[in-house]
Amino acid sequence: MKHLVKTLAMSLALTTSLGAIAKDTIKVGFVYVSPTGEAGWTYTHDEARKHVEKKFGDKVSTTYVESVAEGADSERVIRQLAKKGHDLIFTTSFGYMNPTIKVAKRYPNIKFEHATGYKQAKNVGVYFDRMYESRYLSGVIAAHMSKSNIAGFVASFPIPEVLRSINAFTLGFKSVKPDAKVKVVWVNSWFDPGKEREASDSLIDQGADVITQHTDSPAPVQAAEAAGIYAIGSHSDMSEYGKNAHLTAVIHNFNEFYEQRVQEVLDGTWQSENVWGGLNTGMTRLGEFNEVIPENVIADVEVLTTKIASGELHPFAGPLKNQAGEIMVPAGEIPQDSELLKMNYLVDGVEGKLN
Amino acid sequence: MDLDLITNILYATIRTGTPLLLVALGEMVCEKSGVLNLGQEGMMLLGAVAGFIAMYHCDSLFIGFAVAALTGVLISLLFGFIALNLNASQVATGLALTIFGTGLSAFLGADYEGKTVEALPELALGALKDIPLIGKPLFAQDAIVYFSWVLVVVVYLFFKHHRGGLAIRAAGENPEVGSSLGLPVMRIRYLAVMFGGACAGLAGGYLSMAYTPLWTENMTAGRGWIALALVVFASWRIERVMLGAYLFGFASIMHLVAQGLGLSIDSNLLAMLPYVATLVVLVMLSKDKERLKLFEPMSLAKPWHRNN
Amino acid sequence: MMRLEARVQNSPFWTYFSPVLAVILTVITGFFLFAALGQPPVETLYIFFIEPISDWYGLTELIVKTIPILLCAYGLALCFRASIWNIGAEGQLLIGGICATAVAVQFVDSSSFLAMPLTIVAGMIGGMAWAGITAFMKLRLNTNETLVTIMMNYIALNVLLWSVHGPLKDPNGYNFPESALFGESTLLPILVEDTRLHLGLLFVLLAFAATWTFMSKTFAGFQIQVLGLDPSAAKMAGYKQHKLIAMVLLVSGALAGLAGASEVAGPIGQLVPQISPGFGYAAIIVAFLGRLHPVGITLAGLLMGLIYMGGEMAQIEAGLPNSITGIFQGLMLFYLLSCDVIIRYRVRLYRPKFLTPSKISAQIQE
């Protein structure tokens, strides 16, 4: 009898804490917007997936679906992954936000993690990296290496993420050279090597001697290499495409984050969170430095890195003026995350129109 | 805008226009023989990946481009078999070829994804390249650009003075009559399709080995479709194919240059420029309806078989 | 060697069974392809063809995926029958989606019963207007519709990007390129609970019935056929060519616009930059595979949708890369197209005769 009561109590305890049960093995699904490739956004997520597989061995099996269109198809793919018994599903593009939320409602026991979005739910966590922090650092390096004081920025779409990148790069650049200009060309595509090449060439023709980008292909780095100027890679290390040109790259790193979230699901301790990791967590960082960067510049950048990581320095700290000269962040203030999340202006020093 | 910038714009215009010119030239010859091959995108991608792999292992640009062209030919034979021998709808077969080529190239290139090779070097023609304004655009290009010009001249002369050109036209205008006059219509169409394949393969190779020397999935990004449109735009005339390819190249360069110059037009609207420009020029070229009809191959995309 | 002999009449047997033969050939090829890739072939084929529709949900998803393809393809079939090479369903669909959204965002907080119908009508008008530009350029300015529609697709895509980044952007959406989520009253009603099967199915059925009746029962349908086969005959018969051309373009534009509206007000529920993963292009293939007939198109569309879903499933279940899907789809299409040859021709195999010069001259003398 005593025994029975004990079992009952135990099973009760188990049922009430449903969703917090530790598991021996789990399945983790990943939804990618493009092919996994060898560079770029999806590549960094797939690297993290491989990291998870290696780390957990038999305990975790992973599935990925690549090139999933962001329209009506994505909801079906996410739901299929859920139906097939995945315990944790990472959806890695902004356009998956509403589909993820919809599927999550139907599958309350499955955990979802959506990258770059802003909608959270009980079983949907949101994550992204503060890439603007490394963008700021890359701007500092670019400024030290530039002679013409004109940088070229090949940009994809005028969404907050990209605007933060352009602005942070510009602010970093101007922190060294206050009169510098950053020219922006929009290619209206995340991935089009030919067009990115043309855009880079046209920026170089207009005097830019450092090229950076917020697009996925390594073509801008190649353009810089061909023209004998410098480039800063984006998303992942692109030094392979321009041994001399590639100064460094601004890198996403989701390895540790994915590992942590998977561990939490295994332990039964996962909770929905809004994670925006910066230099402090290593979710974003600079890549290897090119040998041509002087020692003292690297030392400077290292100091800045610690300052940003500790919160002592904020790339968007006031006073911050937009292109029209209006104050966007008053002196002495630091913008809220919610403000950064919906940034819709270009800062003073950027040449080129918003969208 | 200074002189240097204009020179550079012209230089970039020709580079941008070259892959379009090659594909469009090949497709034009193909269409003149009465065959519409909408599989340009697929053939380009296969040429791009095969050429790149060959170049990567052999380290020879010549082999790379030869393999690219050859791959184009091989895959065009598949199209030829289905569309010509089996008389399937040319439109549908071409579209299927694009799907197939996109998939196969991604599959073959999976291990080479993101790898890079030494780009095709510039081949400056002596002192000519120092001529102001036009020196760099015309005389400091790479070998494929010069080759494309030679090809344009050869094709032009072929259609103007050679009997073969007449035979292709006959196959495209009225295969029935051509055949009864003893023309090997099927063989002519096959050769034209293969020429188209070679050009598309070469254009793909130009993208993966010269323009942006790397292989990535789907790197043609719709250029095959533009080339198809250019053939119609040119109303099947060689000089207009060339004009169209460079005009399109110019418009796509200008939409980027204009942004850098700080022109205050929305970039999405600016991005329409190449397409709108093409349409406007087309309208101007299309005024004379009767003249226009003279150039369109009458039997374009119509299946034909000797036993018909 | 192989030789084709024309049949006196199309073979009725092969008219229905050539697709079956094609599917069998695809399955056999797939068997060897998957075996060569180190996959269990039978299982992988099952994953590709059966598993996606092995349950009720899968079936409804197949329909959801096929709805926009079919709507576009019915309209395209009308154009192609008239030999109007409209490649522009994609652009017409996008503009339909944009116009529908422009109306739908006015009703975000409204429960008006007019919201949904107005949204759908706006989409149809938008698609029709976009196709109307092509019709105008063809009829008044003599331009070639193939070129115009290809260019209009690119222009439409840029209009879409401009509107989601600009006028239609959700004011509360953190400046991301999306419209506001549509209100309940604007969304197409769901037909089967816990699925995404929406009212678009009804539109497809209506379009199916209408195009079939139009093609086979009306005089205008007949005129279109004549126009496509022999324009000079149509002219001689005194048909109003311009009117016919304008009509097929406008109708197909309206149907593509309807497809766009059904997507934004259906499974997506808002305007996003990627409302179409190439529905308009898929519809071209479907129209031809279906031999420009509504019944054939419907079957071809379902098959097309199935191989897309099979590709997703193969990634999830078998870990096959996405590129395999393309190869497999391409092969299947090649087979389907190739097999149609036996409807019109008898295939004869023969031993090639080597022609010597004397034989040739003998033949010529005959």
DSSP A70-119: TTHHHHHHHHHHHHTT-SEEEE-SGGGHHHHHHHHHH-TTSEEEEES---
- B100 touching C, CB under 8 A? yes
Q: Does B302 reside within a domain? A: no
Query: C359 lies in a domain?
Result: no
Position C80 in a domain: yes
Give the tokens for residue B153: 């001249």
Task: Give pLDDT, residue A131.
Answer: 95
pTM for this entry: 0.89
pLDDT tens-digit readout, C74-94 = 999 999 999 898 989 999 999
- Inter-residue contact B217 to B109 (CB < 8 Å): yes
- CB B198 within 8 Å of CB B79: no
Listed by number, the residues of chain A in 9-48 with a beta carbon closer than 8 Å to a beta carbon of chain B are 35, 37-39, 43
Instruction: Examine residue B300 and state whether it is found in any structural domain, yes or no.
Output: no
Cβ–Cβ gap C324/B103 under 8 Å? yes
- Among candidate residues B20, B116, B218, the one with its CA nearest the CA of residue A219: B116
pLDDT at C353: 53
Q: Please indicate if any CB of chain B lies within 8 Å of the CB of A221.
A: no
Q: At what angle do helices C145-165 and C115-139 cross, to 10 degrees?
A: 140
Q: Do B265 and A35 touch (CB under 8 A)?
A: no
Q: What is the pLDDT of residue C360?
A: 46
Closest CA to A66 of A87, A92, A84: A92
Give me chain C's average pLDDT, please: 89
Cβ pair C285:B88 closer than 8 A: no
Strands C2-6, C345-349: pairing kind: antiparallel
Inter-residue contact A252 to A284 (CB < 8 Å): yes
Q: How large is the average pLDDT for residues C266-277?
A: 94
**Which residue numbers of A have CB closer than 8 Å to C's CBs?**
29, 35, 63-73, 75-77, 80-81, 83-84, 94-95, 98, 106, 118, 157-160, 188, 341-344, 355
Q: Which of B8, B212, B220 lies at the smallest CB-CB distance from A222?
A: B212
Residue B284: both structure tokens together: 């101007």
**Higher-scoring residue by pLDDT: B99, A147:** A147
Instruction: Establish if B33 belongs to a structural domain.
Output: yes
* Count of structural domains within chain C: 1
Question: Any chain A CB within 8 A of the CB of B252?
Answer: yes
pLDDT of residue A219: 92
- d(Cα A143, Cα A180) in Å, to the nearest integer? 8
B307 reaches C (C-beta below 8 A): yes
C187: closest CA among C126, C273, C101, C93? C101
- A chain contacts of residue C62, beta-carbon cutoff 8 Å: none
Chain C partners of A77 at a C-beta cutoff of 8 Å? 312, 316
Q: Could you tell me if residue C196 is inside a domain?
A: yes
Query: Cβ–Cβ of C4/B85 closer than 8 Å?
Result: yes
For residue C62, the one-letter residue type is L
Determine contact, residues C119/C106, Cβ cutoff 8 Å: no
Tell me, yes or no, whether C156 lies in a domain: yes
* C-beta of residue C196 within 8 angstroms of C-beta of residue C269: no
Convert the pLDDT of each residue in C215-257 to its tens digit.
999 999 999 888 888 888 888 888 888 999 999 999 999 999 9
CB contact, 8 Å: B289 with chain C? yes
- The 10 Å Cβ neighbour count of residue B163 is 8
**CB–CB of B254/B273 below 8 Å?**
yes
**Which positions 49-68 of C are in contact with A (Cβ < 8 Å)?**
57, 61, 64-65
- Nearest C-alpha of chain C: how many angstroms from A143? 29
Widest CA span of chain C, in angstroms? 87
- The three-state secondary structure class of C5 is strand
- Chain C residues within 8 A of B228 when measuring between CB atoms: 150
- Name, in order, each residue with C-beta under 8 angstroms of A3's C-beta and a sequence gap of 6 or more: none
For residues C258 and C261, give the distance between their C-alpha atoms in angstroms, rounded to a whole number.
Answer: 5
- The answer, yes or no, to whether residue C2 has pLDDT greater than 90, is no
CA distances from C14 to A119, C11, C22, C303 (A): 54, 5, 11, 19
C211 domain-assigned: yes
Contacts of C230 in chain B (CB under 8 A): none
Peptide bond into A319 cis (omega under 30): yes
Which of A38, A188, A198 is facing B114, going by the closest CB pair? A38
CA distance B76 to chain A (A): 24
List of residues 6+ apart from A75 with CB closer than 8 A: A99, A102, A103, C196, C267
Residues A290, A247: contact at Cβ < 8 Å?
A: yes
* C338 → closest Cβ in B88, B283, B286: B88
Q: Which of C143, C328, C344 sits opposite B286 (nearest CB)?
A: C143
Task: Determine the pLDDT at residue A22.
Answer: 83
Classify residue B306: in a domain, yes or no.
no
**pLDDT score recorded for residue A14:** 45
Is there a contact between B104 and C330 if contact means CB atoms under 8 Å apart?
Answer: yes
Touching C: which chains, 3+ CB pairs < 8 A? Answer: A, B
- B36 inside domain: yes
Distance from CA of C188 to the nearest CA of B (A): 30
CA angle A96, C174, A249 (to 5 degrees): 70
The answer, for B106 touching chain C at a CB cutoff of 8 Å, is yes
Alpha carbons B197 and B40: distance in angstroms, whole number? 8
Between CA B20 and CA B13 the distance in angstroms is 11
CA distance B78 to C225: 31
Domains (ranges, CATH) in chain A? 22-129+254-277 (3.40.50.2300), 131-251+316-351 (3.40.50.2300)
Burial group, residue A18, by CB count within 10 angstroms (0-12, 13-18, 19+): exposed
Q: Please count the structural domains in chain B.
A: 1
Contact C274 A69 (CB under 8 A): yes
Number of A to C CB contacts under 8 A, please give it.
88
- How much is the pLDDT for C352? 55
Of B139 and A29, the one with more pLDDT = A29
Asked if B292's CB is within 8 angstroms of C2's CB, the reply is no
Which chain C residues touch A67 with a CB distance below 8 Å?
322
C198 shares contact with chain A (CB less than 8 Å): no
pLDDT tens profile B13-61: 999 999 999 999 999 999 999 999 999 999 999 999 999 999 999 989 8
User: What pLDDT is attached to residue A338?
Assistant: 87
Contact (CB<8Å) A222/B213: yes
Chain B contact for A193, CB < 8 A? yes
| Residues A201, B12: C-beta atoms closer than 8 Å | yes
Q: Is C291 left (phi over 0), alpha (psi -120 to 50) or beta?
A: left
Is B135 part of a structural domain of the chain?
yes
Q: Three-state SS for C320? A: coil
Looking at chain C, the whole-number percentage of residues with pLDDT higher than 70 is: 95
Where chain A has pLDDT below 50, the residues are: 1-2, 4, 8-19
In chain A, the DSSP E strands lie at 26-31, 60-65, 88-91, 111-115, 124-129, 150-155, 181-186, 210-214, 230-235, 246-252, 274-277, 284-286, 320-321, 327-329, 350-351
CATH number of the domain to which B86 belongs? 1.10.3470
- Give Cβ neighbours of residue C143 (< 8 Å, ≥ 6 apart): B279, B282, B283, B286, C137
Q: List the one residue out of A252, A314, A207 whose CA is nearest residue A43.
A: A252
The answer to whether residue B190 is domain-embedded is: yes
Q: Compute the average pLDDT of residues B133-137.
A: 82
Q: Classify residue C330: in a domain, yes or no.
A: no
Q: What is the 3-state secondary structure (H, E, C) of chain B?
A: CCHHHHHHHHHHHHHHHHHHHHHHHHHHHHHHCCCCCCCHHHHHHHHHHHHHHHHHHHCCHHHHHHHHHHHHHHHHHHHHHHHHHCCCCHHHHHHHHHHHHHHHHHHHCHHHCCCECCCCCECCCHHHHHCCCCHHHHHCCEHHHHHHHHHHHHHHHHHHHCHHHHHHHHHHHCHHHHHHCCCCHHHHHHHHHHHHHHHHHHHHHHHHHHHCCECCCCCCCCHHHHHHHHHHHCCCCHHHHHHHHHHHHHHHHHHHHHHHCCCCCCHHHHCCHHHHHHHHHHHHHCCCHHHHHHHCCCCCCCCCCCCC
C348 falls within a domain: no
- As given in the structure block, the two tokens for residue B165 are 């050109």
| Cα B84 from Cα C231, distance rounded (Å) | 24
Tens-place pLDDT, residues C148-176: 998 999 999 999 999 998 899 998 888 88
Mean pLDDT throughout B207-214?
A: 92
Q: Is B45 on the interface with C (CB under 8 A)?
A: no
Contacts of A50 in chain C (CB under 8 A): none
Please answer yes or no on whether C147 and B106 come within 8 Å at the CB atom: no
Collect all residues of chain B within an 8 Å Cβ-Cβ radius of residue A193.
207, 212, 214, 216, 219, 221
Closest residue in B to A200 (Cα–Cα): B256
Answer whether A148 touches B (CB < 8 Å): no
Q: How far apart are CA C211 and CA C209, in angstroms?
A: 6
Residue of C nearest to A119 (CA): C173
**What residue in B sits closest to A38 (Cα-Cα)?**
B114
**B132/chain C closest Cα distance in angstroms:** 35
Q: Does C315 touch chain A (CB under 8 A)?
A: yes
Neighbouring chains of A at 3+ CB pairs under 8 Å are: B, C
Whether the pLDDT of residue B289 is over 70: the answer is no
Q: Residue C190: give the domain boundaries.
A: 68-292
Cβ <8 Å between A63 and C316: yes
- How many Å lie between the alpha carbon of B190 and the closest alpha carbon of chain C? 16
Q: Nearest by CB to C144, which of B105, B225, B232?
A: B232
Q: Average pLDDT, whole number, for chain B?
A: 88
Contacts of C147 in chain B (CB under 8 A): 229, 232-233, 278-279, 282
How far is residue A96's CA from residue A114's CA, in Å, rounded to a whole number?
8
Cα separations (Å) of A298 from A151, A229, C123, C356? 19, 19, 56, 80
Domain, as residue range, for B265: 3-295
Classify residue A121 as left (phi > 0), alpha (psi -120 to 50) or beta: beta
CA distance A204 to A194: 15
Mutate to test the interface with B, among C130, C279, C337 (most CBs of B within 10 A): C337
Between chains, do C327 and B103 touch, taking CB under 8 Å as contact? yes
Q: With an 8 Å Cβ cutoff, are A118 and C319 in contact? A: no
CB within 8 Å: C177 and A75? no
